[in-house]
Structure formats: C-alpha cells, structure tokens
Amino acid sequence: MQWRNTLRDYGLVSILLHWLIAVAVFGLFGLGLWMVGLDYYSAWYRKAPDLHKGIGVLLFMLMLLRLVWKLFNPRPAPLQNHGSAVRLFTRLGHGLLYLGLFAVMASGYLISTAKGRPVEVFGWFEVPALVTSIPRQADVAGLLHEYLAWALVILAVLHALAALKHHFIDRDATLKRMLGRH
C-alpha cells in the first residue's frame, strides 16, 4: 500500500487519519457522556475532563493535519456506479462531518476557556484562552457542545451505515477503499 492517495485508492496516511479520527470522535463522545454523570467525590471528577480536553486538542491538530494532507493529495475518483446524487450526498456528508467536528471542538474550547484559564494538554503544552467575554460563555457553549456532539455522532453513524450499504447492498468498493483492500 502506498503512503499517498492515487486516483484509484486512498493511501495509508489518509486511511489512518480517517480511522484515528473516527475512534477519537466516538471515544470522546463516550467519555463525555460518562464524565457528566460523575459526582464531586469521584476519583475521575477532575481527571476525566482533563483527558477529554487533551484528546480534543489532539483531535483538532489531527484534523488540521488531515486538511493539509487533503490539499496535497489527489482524491480518488468516484466509483463508476456512483451517480450524481451519490456524489452530491457524499460531498455534503463529508462537508457536514468536517463542519460538525470543528464546531464541536470550538464549543469545547469555549467551555474550557470561559474563566480565562488555558487548556492544558497532558502537561505537554497549553492552549491559551483567547475568548472569554461572551455572556454565559460556559453555559451557552456547553449546551451547543452537547447538541453538536450528538448531531456529529448521528451523522457519523449515518456515514458508517452508508458505507455498509455500499458494501453489502451495492457491492461496490467504497468501504474496501477506506480499509485499504481495494
């Protein structure tokens, strides 16, 4: 398998970025659901949010890398059996996934920095608090973060179901290309 994309297949870097981001999104969603139920006396009350924030910042960096990678790599051509409607829905779905990811991360950043404190990432570095003056910033961003996270996960599940539909019903190479088996 090649590192870079070709006009026929995704390369190893694109495939790894895709699956790392998918695991991070679902992992962060599960961690977020779990941590909001913790009480003050739980050993994880402070650790879980720090873990969630740190992984979220790393995911942001991974998404930036993915965007740069997409700029310098060809996109594999659509499969022959994908008509104009499938191509449109594919572009729209991917666009919404990217937009949703960045919106969830931005709202998470606004929650984390509302009191003017930076986001510490595993003791490696800090992300400064640049926006702190929005009225009720943590509350509004928190509500947005929750709804956007649910929307993103629902969209990601629909994305996965579409890939499975292409694999099992249409019997085309859509899923195989993202698994590096085309």
Q: How many CB atoms lie within 10 A of CB 147?
A: 13
The pLDDT assigned to 74 comes to 87
Residue 182 has pLDDT above 90, yes or no: no
d(Cα 170, Cα 19) in Å, to the nearest integer? 23
Q: How many CB atoms lie within 10 A of CB 25?
A: 19
The pLDDT assigned to 152 comes to 98
User: For 37-79, what is each residue's pLDDT tens digit?
Assistant: 999 999 999 999 999 999 999 999 999 999 999 999 989 999 9
Would you place residue 1 in the very low, low, confident or very high pLDDT band (cuts 50, 70, 90)? confident
The pLDDT assigned to 98 comes to 98
Residue 181 has pLDDT above 90, yes or no: no
Residue 14 has pLDDT above 90, yes or no: yes
Residues in a beta bridge with 119? 127
Please tell me the least confidently modeled range out of 2-11, 24-33, 148-157: 2-11
* Residue closest to 114 by CA, chosen among 98, 101, 130: 130
d(Cα 164, Cα 169) in Å, to the nearest integer? 8
Helix/strand/coil (H, E, C) string of 93-105? HHHHHHHHHHHHH
Average pLDDT, the chain: 96
Helix/strand/coil (H, E, C) string of 105-167? HHHHHHHHCCCCCCEEECCCEEECCCCCCCCCHHHHHHHHHHHHHHHHHHHHHHHHHHHHHHH
The residue type at 68 = V
End-to-end alpha carbon distance in the chain: 10
Judge whether 28 and 50 are in contact, CB under 8 Å. Answer: no
